[in-house]
Chains A and B, each alone.
Chain A
Amino acid sequence: MNGFYLALPVFLPILCGCILLAFRDRFSGKREERLLNLGIEGLVILNSLIIVMILGKLYGDKDGGTMQFTLFRLFGNLTVMFKLDRMGSVFAGLIAFLWPLATLYAFEYMKEEPRKPAFFAYYTMTYGVTAGIAFSGSLITLYLFYELLTLVTFPLVLHPLSREAAHASRKYLYYSLGGAAFAFLGLVLVLGFSATGNTEFLAGGMLNQELAQGYENVLLTFYVLAFFGFGVKAALFPCHGWLPKATVAPTPVTALLHAVAVVKSGAFAILRLTYFSFGTDFLRGTWAQWTVMAAALVTIVYGSTMAVREVHWKRRLAYSTISNLSYILFGASIMSPLGLAAALCHMVAHAFMKICGFFCAGAVMHQTGKTHIYELDGLGRQMPVVFGCLTVSSLSLMGIPLFAGFISKWNLCQSAFAYGGEAVKGGIPGGFLPYVGVAVILYSALMTAIYMLTVLVRAYFPKTGTVMEHGNGKRGFHDPNWMMVLPLILFAVMILVIGLHSAPFMRLFLSIGGEAG
């Protein structure tokens, strides 16, 4: 297959988004609005189909693995290029599944909001940029799209145009740009030591081992800097501050971007940096590994503890995202094949659970206008579908078996025990950290139980009297229409599918881990 197809799903949405932005004043009437919705949904579905086709090619052909496309040459061997491997295909497949559903949900959610065309223009452009991150074949390409992602999502946070939104979006911008600057340092250094002179991703690392000799500590320092740099988007403590603030954005943005696309891009970049750029052989057992692992563990504890304290529902979910993203980073920092597989598994599982959780919160906001946990008494009976899906998502986040969350937690802990056993046996200082990691994950699971289940208990078993007090009994709230319910149900089903039958997924993840770990 021609590598050119790789560029299609990246530039098609970006181009259409730009066109829409240029003609955004033309869509004012009711009929035009419907046309706009249909057009966007069609485009997004088409784009997803292209991605699925490309993935089908990758897994269908034997030589599909070499699909690549060079955009342009910067200087020397340094090129901006797309290349699809199995690792990228996981991320691409994930967003291809989520985007059409999230867009569908957004139409209904944004029905009453102003400035819809601009919103959907940026929303669609983000799709292309995220696909670019999934397909990027070299660190420089990844970096380019990473910066672009900040720029196209910035207007989405700003969308409500309130003082709060302005503040949040500015914070988001500064954090992300600052983080990217650190990542840039890492990029420059990798380029200097790269075996190919390009920064092309190679499973197992692209460093020239001979060149690197004698510069180990410099390289490790810059690895840690770049880890924290990309970690800004993955909400790594102490660079997480923007994420809870950014919940002022409309729910489709919080759900799709700040629980999946943007934050997972950060995590994905870190996986690329660790397993495909520096290489695990180089990093394993060094102080750099223990530093980043400790940072991930601190973030897990911090995020889940703060989530318990938070009473604003969406902010609570945002803190939960902070802690769950660091599960992925913890998996990444184990730096073994199983660690990478577990990280990818949690990347996929968390995407479904958290987008489901956010969409439930959004549906409640949309139907009732309630934003805080203490207002939710008795809503479970009135919105059975929404809270049914929320139950699935909550149990999965907790990590109860039969749900997706358990599978990834299981794999994370297995990889931690396996690696910890090796490290302790080898007498590596800091080798006990993976064990601490398991304890931290279980602590976080307990906190998850507290912050998710209190919501459910309130909704299903209201204390006597509280229902009337919040007006939840009188006005008869009900489930939203199919455009919001369908995505929810599909996500809940996916959580159960992964939870009950994870073998094919895990085989794919393990094969990726086997190549790169």
Chain B
Amino acid sequence: MKLLLPVMIPILAGILVLVSKEIRKNRKLVTGLSAAVLIVEAALIFTAILSGGSLVLCRLTDTIHISFRIDQVSGLFAGLTAVMWLLVGIYAIAYMEHEHDEYRFFGFYLMVEGVLMGIDFSSNLITMYVFYELMTLTSLPLVLHELTKEAVQAGLKYLFYSVAGAFLALFGIFFLASVSPTLEFTPGGVLESQAIAGKEGLLLASACCMVVGFGTKAGMFPLHGWLPTAHPVAPAPASAVMSGVITKAGILAVIRVFYYIIGPDPIRGTWVQTVWMALSLVTVFMGSMLAYKEQVFKKRLAYSTVSQVSYVMFGLSLLHPIAFVGALSHVVFHSIIKNGLFLSAGAVIEKTGWTRVEQMRGLGKVMPLTLACYTAVSLALIGIPPASGFVSKWYLATGALSSGTGIWGFIGPVVLLVSALLTAGYLLPIAIQGFFPGQDFDSTELKKRKLIGKEPSLLMLLPILVLAMGAVLFGCFPGSLLQMIASIGELVF
């Protein structure tokens, strides 16, 4: 029951908000209800994580069950989701005031949280797949929200890429179901070598399908195309959680498949690992490069997501305990940082209407506190010690060097380094231009629009501040987090 509540409550509340005429006409009721559900949900999630347990919900056939169980990985992802959803939800209450159809946003926003809990808590591959598909369907309206031609096209692109990825992965699931004794997640994998004897080729092909398929959600090349299109058209809070949290569902799926079903050993040293490493490094580099060239602020951040989530993918592809720690800690850090970045971008859009980078000169005069937070999370993403990004990248690089993958162990850190430079190149100019617009900067335009010193409202500023502090503090005191991840690593290797 403790496991079912965090899944069902937001979904039911979301449906209620969408269906009930009385609620959806009353803005205060919509936001009040959403805030209440988000707080209760966070509490429920943490009690569920602390108490653990398992639950079989229903049996689709004799062999396929829908069931939930909590282990450390679920705890990590669920806890992260709970905090992010709450913070961004608070921000959204203020942000969405200026948008139309708020009830629809909040309805689906709540539903997605429940569905994500389903992914996090699922105890077998089928359950995870169910919620994975549902996640695509429930998050689609967030992308479509504006209902402009652009938004609808972006939404369809998102839908088709995601579904294509999911079906690619489904091929692997079908295969695994035919050879594996069980699809329950077990640390270290469940495959028996005699069951796959003679089918190694097919196993590797399925594994490759699953990397690319689940990698779609994580924005990995070659199926990354939807991400820079879909994330920027959504309202800022939606882009924030999509980039910061929903992309991580793809990562969780990959972890579950490769560390809990197949196990790292059948993959290590095969062509699948090589392909996996190559694809993720290509994505890291390509994402940074495109972000560097992009002038639309939110789109630049979306490309940055493409690149950063593939850091995690690269860490996982090394199949090495140290890199695993780097990957999972980067999941947490990137989530905090990217939410912070998108929320700052949203604040800029909401207050000034600026969407392009070159318009944002002199932003420091408008909202100095927000820009300071932006600078802090940017530094964390670049990986400047002691901010958080440094910790995860350190583990990723040392993991790569000691992973015994030959030449890849060297290429990897080099690509990460180049990408870090590019990250600095695409994030910092905004801060520099914002605080130091130069001698020739004419602030009369800003004065005319009464923009000087116009920080966003407290509801919007608070989440940004919390995220910025989190990004820095986690870098200074990462000990307990790293210890927990390392203990997961001990189980799966």
Which residues of chain A have a CB within 8 Å of any CB of chain B? Answer: 395, 398, 400-402, 406-407, 410, 413-414, 417-418, 421, 424-425, 435, 438-439, 442-443, 445-446, 449-450, 453-454, 457, 461-464, 499-503, 506-507
Contacts and interface: CB of A to CB of B under 8 A. Distances in A.
B101 to A, nearest CB: 10
A108 to B, nearest CB: 26
A401 B129 contact: yes
A383 to B, nearest CB: 15
B356 interface: no
When A and B form their complex, which 5 residue pairs have the shortest distance between CB atoms, in order from nearest? Answer: A417-B178, A413-B174, A401-B130, A449-B163, A442-B167
Interface residues of B, number: 38
B61 A502 contact: yes
Contacts of A507: 62
Given A401-B129, A418-B178, A421-B199, A410 B148 contact: no
Contact of B133 (A401, A443, A446, A500): A401
B160 A417 contact: no
A172 to B, nearest CB: 34
A307 B137 CA distance: 21
Given A414-B178, A502-B61, 18 more contacts: A398-B163, A400-B133, A400-B134, A407-B61, A414-B174, A439-B171, A442-B167, A442-B170, A445-B170, A449-B159, A449-B167, A457-B140, A457-B152, A461-B144, A461-B155, A464-B148, A501-B58, A506-B62
Given A503-B59, A506-B62, A417 B147 contact: no
A506 B59 CA distance: 12
A417 B155 contact: no
Contacts of B66: 402
B242 interface: no
A400 B167 CA distance: 10
Contacts of A421: 178, 198-199
28 contacts: A401-B133, A402-B66, A406-B60, A410-B64, A413-B174, A414-B174, A417-B174, A417-B175, A421-B178, A438-B174, A438-B175, A442-B170, A445-B167, A445-B170, A446-B164, A449-B160, A457-B140, A461-B144, A461-B155, A462-B147, A463-B148, A463-B149, A463-B152, A499-B60, A500-B58, A501-B59, A502-B60, A507-B62
A101 B479 CA distance: 65
Interface in B162-187: 163-164, 167-168, 170-171, 174-175, 177-179
B68 to A, nearest CB: 15
B16 interface: no
A414 B170 CA distance: 12
B114 to A, nearest CB: 14
Contacts of A401: 60, 64, 126, 129-130, 133
Contact of B61 (A402, A424, A506): A506
A446 to B, nearest CB: 5
Contact of B156 (A400, A413, A442, A457): A457
Contacts of B463: none
Given A438-B174, A439-B171, A457-B144, A500 B164 contact: no
B155 A442 contact: no
A457 B167 contact: no
A213 B130 CA distance: 50
A497 to B, nearest CB: 11
Contacts of B152: 457, 461, 463
Contacts of A457: 140, 144, 152, 155-156, 159
Nearest to B163: A449
A413 B179 CA distance: 12
A442 B171 contact: yes
B61 A446 contact: no
A135 B137 CA distance: 43
Residue with the greatest number of chain A CB neighbours at <10 A, chosen from B141, B148, B167, B177: B167
A503 B159 CA distance: 31
Contacts of A438: 171, 174-175
B58 to A, nearest CB: 6
B414 interface: no
A382 B434 CA distance: 49
Contacts of B163: 398, 446, 449-450, 453
Among A445, A449, A502, chain B packs the most CB atoms within 10 A around the CB of A449
A463 B146 CA distance: 9
A426 B133 CA distance: 37
Interface in B18-77: 58-62, 64, 66
Classify the secondary structure of B's interface with A.
Answer: helix
B84 to A, nearest CB: 25
B160 A464 contact: no
B169 to A, nearest CB: 10
B466 interface: no
A274 B223 CA distance: 41
B160 A450 contact: yes
A395 B133 CA distance: 10
B476 interface: no
Contacts of B421: none
A462 B101 CA distance: 13
Given A401-B133, A461-B152, A453 B60 contact: no
A443 B168 CA distance: 9
B147 A463 contact: yes
B182 to A, nearest CB: 15
Given A414-B177, A457-B159, A501-B59, A446 B167 contact: yes
Interface string B338-359: 0000000000000000000000
Contacts of A500: 58, 60
B178 A410 contact: no
B202 interface: yes
Nearest to B126: A401
A445 B168 CA distance: 10
B192 to A, nearest CB: 15
B147 A464 contact: yes
Contacts of A398: 163
Contacts of B62: 503, 506-507
A394 B434 CA distance: 50
A400 B168 CA distance: 13
Contacts of B58: 500-501
Contacts of A454: 156
A507 to B, nearest CB: 8
Nearest to A425: B198
A163 B198 CA distance: 59
A457 B144 CA distance: 9
B211 to A, nearest CB: 16
Contacts of A463: 147-149, 152
A425 B126 CA distance: 28
A74 B436 CA distance: 100
Nearest to B175: A417
A435 B144 contact: no
Contacts of B134: 400
A462 B151 CA distance: 11
A424 B62 CA distance: 27
Nearest to A467: B147
Contacts of B160: 446, 449-450
A413, A439, A442, A453, most chain B CB atoms within 10 A = A442
Contact of A410 (B59, B130, B174, B175): B174
Given A410-B61, A446-B167, A461 B133 contact: no
B147 A461 contact: yes
Interface in B77-92: none
Interface string B477-493: 00000000000000000
A38 B159 CA distance: 46
B147 A453 contact: no
A407 B147 contact: no
Contact of A461 (B64, B130, B141, B170): B141
Contacts of A395: 137
Contacts of B59: 501, 503
A501 B59 CA distance: 6
A500 B144 CA distance: 30
A454 B141 CA distance: 13
A412 to B, nearest CB: 9
